[in-house]
Amino acid sequence: MLNYLKVYYHNNVMHGIILCGGSGTHLRPLTYSQQKQLIPIANKPVVCYAIDDMIKSGIKNIIIVTGNNKEQVKKVIDNYTKKLDVIISYVHQGEPKGIAHAVLMCEKEIGKNNFCLYLGDNITNDSISKHMSMKKRTSAKVLLTKVNHPERFGVAKFNSKNKLIELIEKPEIPPSNMALVGVYFFTPQIFDACKSIEPSWRNELEITHAIQYLIDNKQTVEHSEIKGWWKDTGLPQDIIDANNRILNNYKERIIGYNTKTKNSVISKHTNIGKNCCILNSCIGKNVSIGNNCTIINREITNSVILDNVTIEQGNKISDSIISALSNCTISF
């Protein structure tokens, strides 16, 4: 059934696609004014971790697929990458029609090259460089990781020889505890597979359906397991957890330009932006504070404070994400 597909031999050129669309409904009200992939983890937009991972792995041509906040995404990424050795281009998807649809929109730019697809709200400390190689005649490779609640994710099913035979989205009875992590490697065969599937009940072209199409038509789909930690930052607690994991590895605190501290205790596991004022406060472990913030008479732990927030005296703040949608002062 798949005989009409072109066969592409592997080459050493790798391109990248990073998805920066979606409405981020589970992160509202944060995402009313900010694209979810731009929410900072340790004061760096989460999508920039994907960009760094690709660059360190030798991928120097990256396509960013944007949704409705195209200009916001472009401004942040262009500013971040302006001094990096990478070529960034943009494809505007607009209305979300599925990951496979976003991939098809990049077909002309990718051409006959193999490429990495990276969901821009995913973050891991396991470099993709360890997983990039694919055997000859392999059509795709998916990255997986062990999870405690596989029913929340897309889950892999294997046969007795540990060969991937099926991908199941949020199964009631998971066939394994191995979940898709939102990083994939493809040959151009995926484009024909994406064109051969029908929209799902969400009226979207699902990338899992395209990969399943390859599997069902006797194409080789490899899998590789991430050994480090991974987070899909689609929920507030996942953002806090990712922030904690990164800051917990800090050996020294980071304090930005023109930030002043007085009568305050600041943990080494912190990242504070520029032009901030920290007065009579205790900034505990695993706290990131954005630019232009003022903290007065507060104790804060395990939290993400975004730009332009003023927090005055009150109760201890822990395990929180605080954003100023407009100039505001928080006191409670």
**125-174 pLDDT tens trace:** 888 888 887 777 888 999 999 988 888 888 999 998 888 999 988 888 98
Residues 217 and 301 in one domain: no
Q: Give the burial string for 99-134 (b: 16+ CB within 10 Å, else e).
A: bbbbbbbbeeebeebbbbbbbbbbbbbbebeebbeb
pLDDT at residue number 4: 37
pLDDT at residue number 209: 94
Residues 89 and 150 in one domain: yes
Q: What is the pTM of this model?
A: 0.87
Q: CATH no. for residue 324?
A: 2.160.10.10
Q: Compute the distance between CA of residue 203 and CA of residue 100 in angstroms, rounded to an integer.
A: 12
219 CB burial (10 A radius; 0-12, 13-18, 19+) = buried
Residues 49 and 179 in one domain: yes
237 CB burial (10 A radius; 0-12, 13-18, 19+) = exposed
Residues 161 and 28 in one domain: yes
Q: Is the pLDDT of residue 327 over 90?
A: no
In which domain, by residue range, is 136 found?
A: 14-246
5 occurs within a structural domain? no
Q: What is the pLDDT of residues 39-60, one digit of tens each?
A: 899 999 999 999 999 999 999 9
% the chain with pLDDT above 90: 55
Listed residues 215, 246, 277: the one ending a domain = 246
CA distances from 202 to 18, 97, 182, 191, 299 (A): 22, 9, 19, 20, 44
CA distances from 272 to 241, 258, 290 (A): 18, 11, 6
Question: Which two three-digit tokens encode residue 95?
Answer: 């209305």
Residue appearing with tokens 């003023």? 310
Lowest mean pLDDT among 19-23, 81-85, 191-195, 281-285: 19-23
Q: Give the total number of structural domains in the chain.
A: 2
29 occurs within a structural domain? yes
Mean pLDDT of 209-217: 94
7 occurs within a structural domain? no
Contact at 8 Å (CB) between 317 and 311?
yes
User: At 329, is the pLDDT very low, low, confident or very high (cuts 50, 70, 90)?
Assistant: low
pLDDT at residue number 160: 86
Residues 160 and 197 in one domain: yes
